[in-house]
Chain A
Amino acid sequence: MSAPTKVILLAMLALFSCAATAADVLRIYNWNNYIAPETLERFETECKCRVSYDTYGSNEELLAKIAAGATGYDLLVPTGNAVESLIKQHALLPLDKRKLPNLGNIGAAYLDRFFDPGNVYSVPYAYTVTLIGYNEQKLHQLGIPTNTWAAIFEPRYLRKLKGRVTVLDDPRELMAAALLYLGYSVNDPNETHWREAAGVIMRAKKYWAAFNNTSYIRLIAAGDIWLAQGYSNDFFQAGLEARKAGKNFTIGSVIPEQGAVLSLDSMVIPRHAPRPDLAYRFVNFMLAGSNSAELTNLIGSGNPNVAALPYIKPAIAATAAIFPDRQTLARLEQLRDLTRRQRQLLNRLWTEIKLY
């Protein structure tokens, strides 16, 4: 048998074997690298089903795919503002709480939030905080304060950091940081305040190296950049990488005194999910403390599950940027979904910011 024939036969075999088990497949659409492989395997054994796992890199990607008519998913894990948009689109299934006995494990601070009052549609999964990560030795040596957004936006600090700073390539996150720096709320609807924030960004940007969402983990761990706006779990990863590579510096991360954005990701079931029964089983399974803790132990994400705490590695549980205390938690805000008009304005401001 020739090689191409073999390949075709194998492919056909694979197709048929899929068809044979198609009866019990849970289709999850979740963030990249957002579940521990062993957790998935254990769930598959327990429910005697197969999980097909697709990933996205941003809420916008998820929303665009849903708006383009993607169906067939049983479970999504969007952030609060994307949950808000999906609810407005009537795209989600109201949850039958009787099927979720483990729901009581979620801490009260993460329930009943603005995007879904009463948690009719959503169950908290994990969270991350958008904050400042830095090369501890370099910033100490340069005498730059690290507990304030000024480190990212003040030209007098940035002059010493020229070309060594990255910020998120995300209009909402960067504007939120600039608004906080100016003393406004991240959800401030005032257009003048937005323009003011855009001005702060324009003034600071000539000192930045790049807008970057993904490679800053590697860049800061390699010592190529010294300061970045980014996510708490990413800086946790960067710290591990720097240590593993035997670098002579350490990575710190701090929630600035002006506050920061908290992104709470929640599990939701689409209204037309083919297998809501499996989705319910998965949600309840992930609510068990030991299962939920595995994700935190893998990537250093924040965990809203109180029952998970005993299973979380002490080093992670003790990191203030990942598990902020009550006082810090009060300074964190979640982003709200924007209206069409607001999105349009932000889009123009952002194009201008990135063009000049």
Chain B
Amino acid sequence: MRRLLVWPPQAYLIAFFLVPTLIMVASSFAWPGEEGGLSSFWVRDAQGIHFDLTFDNYRDIFTSRLFLVLFARSLGYAGLTTASCLLAAYPLALVIARSAGKYRNLLLLMVIVPFWTNFLIRIYALMIILGPQAALARILNALLDWVGLTPVSLLFSPFAVLVGMVYIYLPFMVLPLYANLEKHDPDLLDAARDLGAGSWQRFWRITFPLSLPGVMAGSALVFIPALGAFAVPDILGGTRGIMIGNVIKMQFLEARDWPFGSALSIMLTLLALVVTGLAAWLARRKVGAGV
């Protein structure tokens, strides 16, 4: 009976996680089809049937500086996005978690409402807000001009990509942080105060260590999709804005090289696994040391 009950989630994992991943792994070793798609995995000749696979895709990734730079750039963008989201979301989540019950839901709603608007519409709105004729750029450039610096362009820059990504992924950081912070026992802080801890000490030695699981969950939820982002750099990025996601997309469209796209995706998945695994390990060590 118990086995039957755990079956649905397992079936779900197999159908939506394991099978697609295995297909991707298999296709990353295949040859590309002449007009897109995949070549056959095996050939039949006089000696019988044998596999026709290649390591070329992985060799190309590791022997070219191009893809190394690309992965490094994507890591940089994703890391900065995660850090900015964390900095912006932590105070917000703290305020929501500590506000009176009747306001709490309203505040949470305000975090979620922008989510209901289509992603592309929000990005195009940012395009107008950051545009050279909008108030923001004009005020900034007037200030720069006043101190004698050359004007800058906000739109089509790494800055615009970062703003776009932080804006899109912020709720993914706020919600897990809130879920964690809300459960903290206020008695702990009262006790610390009674024992003479200042507000900074109370935050740094009690609230923050206790919130680390929330920080980890939020960071993973932001970092992983940010690493593979392609729409935001496509729309807001300038002439040097691409990330690994753009290059993967290109393999399935312009280049019609599905195996190479699969190999890049596998590398992206591994990278995300390694980085989040490392972060989780560090966090656990810190919690262990702190308590």
Chain A residues with CB under 8 A of B33: 67
- Report yes or no: A163 in contact with B37, Cβ–Cβ below 8 A: no
- Report yes or no: A64 in contact with B36, Cβ–Cβ below 8 A: yes
Point out which of A61, A67, A215, A348 has the most chain B C-beta atoms below 10 A from its C-beta.
Answer: A67
Chain B residues with CB under 8 A of A113: none
Shortest Cβ distance from residue A340 to the other chain B in the assembled complex, whole angstroms: 6
Other-chain contact of A347, B153, B235, B251 (Cβ < 8 Å): B251
Chain A residues with CB under 8 A of B69: 355
Tell me whether A340 and B34 are in contact in the complex, defined as CB-CB below 8 angstroms, given that A63-B256, A209-B156, A355-B69 are known contacts: yes
CA distance A159 to B13 in the complex (A): 55
Chain A residues with CB under 8 A of B32: 340
A157 contacts B by Cβ under 8 Å: no
Other-chain contact of A85, B35, B64, B156, B237 (Cβ < 8 Å): B35
B212 contacts A by Cβ under 8 Å: no
Inter-chain residue pair count (beta carbon < 8 A): 94
Chain B residues with CB under 8 A of A171: 254
Point out which of A60, A169, A348, A355 has the most chain B C-beta atoms below 10 A from its C-beta.
Answer: A355
Choose the segment among B185-193, B200-208, B240-248 that binds chain A (4+ C-beta atoms closer than 8 Å): B240-248
Shortest Cβ distance from residue A278 to the other chain B in the assembled complex, whole angstroms: 27
Chain B residues with CB under 8 A of A15: none
- Report yes or no: A67 in contact with B234, Cβ–Cβ below 8 A: no
- Report yes or no: B235 in contact with A215, Cβ–Cβ below 8 A: yes
- Report yes or no: A64 in contact with B250, Cβ–Cβ below 8 A: no
CA distance A52 to B18 in the complex (A): 35
Shortest Cβ distance from residue A128 to the other chain B in the assembled complex, whole angstroms: 18
A5 contacts B by Cβ under 8 Å: no
- Report yes or no: B242 in contact with A355, Cβ–Cβ below 8 A: yes
Point out which of B32, B33, B37, B255 has the most chain A C-beta atoms below 10 A from its C-beta.
Answer: B255
CA distance A58 to B256 in the complex (A): 13
Interface residue tally on B, bucketed by range:
35 or more
A354 contacts B by Cβ under 8 Å: yes
Chain A residues with CB under 8 A of B255: 343-344, 346-347
Interface residues of A in 178-225 (CB under 8 A from B): 205-206, 208-211, 215, 219, 222-224
A350 contacts B by Cβ under 8 Å: yes
Contact string, A129-153, partner B, CB cutoff 8 A, digits 1/0? 0000000000000000000000000
Interface residues of A in 53-81 (CB under 8 A from B): 58, 60-61, 63-64, 67-68
CA distance A215 to B121 in the complex (A): 13
- Report yes or no: A347 in contact with B257, Cβ–Cβ below 8 A: yes
- Report yes or no: B127 in contact with A215, Cβ–Cβ below 8 A: yes
- Report yes or no: B238 in contact with A210, Cβ–Cβ below 8 A: yes
Other-chain contact of A210, B133, B156, B252, B253 (Cβ < 8 Å): B156
Chain B residues with CB under 8 A of A350: 250, 254
B213 contacts A by Cβ under 8 Å: no
What does DSSP make chain B's interface, helix, strand, loop or mixed? Answer: loop
CA distance A170 to B234 in the complex (A): 12
Contact string, B110-142, partner A, CB cutoff 8 A, digits 1/0? 000000000000001001000111000000000
- Report yes or no: B239 in contact with A208, Cβ–Cβ below 8 A: yes
A105 contacts B by Cβ under 8 Å: no
CA distance A356 to B241 in the complex (A): 9
Tell me whether A354 and B246 are in contact in the complex, defined as CB-CB below 8 angstroms, given that A67-B256, A340-B34 are known contacts: yes
B66 contacts A by Cβ under 8 Å: yes
Closest to A222 in B: B133
B283 contacts A by Cβ under 8 Å: no
- Report yes or no: A344 in contact with B257, Cβ–Cβ below 8 A: yes
- Report yes or no: A169 in contact with B66, Cβ–Cβ below 8 A: no
B210 contacts A by Cβ under 8 Å: no
Chain A residues with CB under 8 A of B37: 67-68
Other-chain contact of A88, B34, B64, B131, B237 (Cβ < 8 Å): B34
Other-chain contact of A67, B36, B64, B239, B250 (Cβ < 8 Å): B36
- Report yes or no: A60 in contact with B156, Cβ–Cβ below 8 A: no
- Report yes or no: A209 in contact with B35, Cβ–Cβ below 8 A: no
CA distance A60 to B133 in the complex (A): 34
- Report yes or no: B35 in contact with A223, Cβ–Cβ below 8 A: no
CA distance A88 to B34 in the complex (A): 9
Other-chain contact of B35, A58, A63, A352 (Cβ < 8 Å): A63
A32 contacts B by Cβ under 8 Å: no
- Report yes or no: A163 in contact with B153, Cβ–Cβ below 8 A: yes
Closest to B152 in A: A163
Closest to B255 in A: A347
CA distance A323 to B240 in the complex (A): 36
A-B contact pairs, 13 of them (CB 8 A): A60-B254, A64-B253, A68-B37, A89-B35, A209-B153, A209-B156, A222-B131, A223-B133, A343-B256, A343-B257, A346-B255, A350-B254, A354-B240
With A67-B36, A223-B133 known, 13 other A-B pairs at CB within 8 A are: A64-B253, A88-B35, A89-B35, A172-B254, A209-B155, A215-B127, A340-B32, A343-B254, A347-B255, A350-B250, A354-B240, A354-B241, A355-B69
Residues of A within 8 A of B (CB): 58, 60-61, 63-64, 67-68, 85, 88-89, 163, 169-172, 205-206, 208-211, 215, 219, 222-224, 340, 343-344, 346-348, 350-352, 354-356
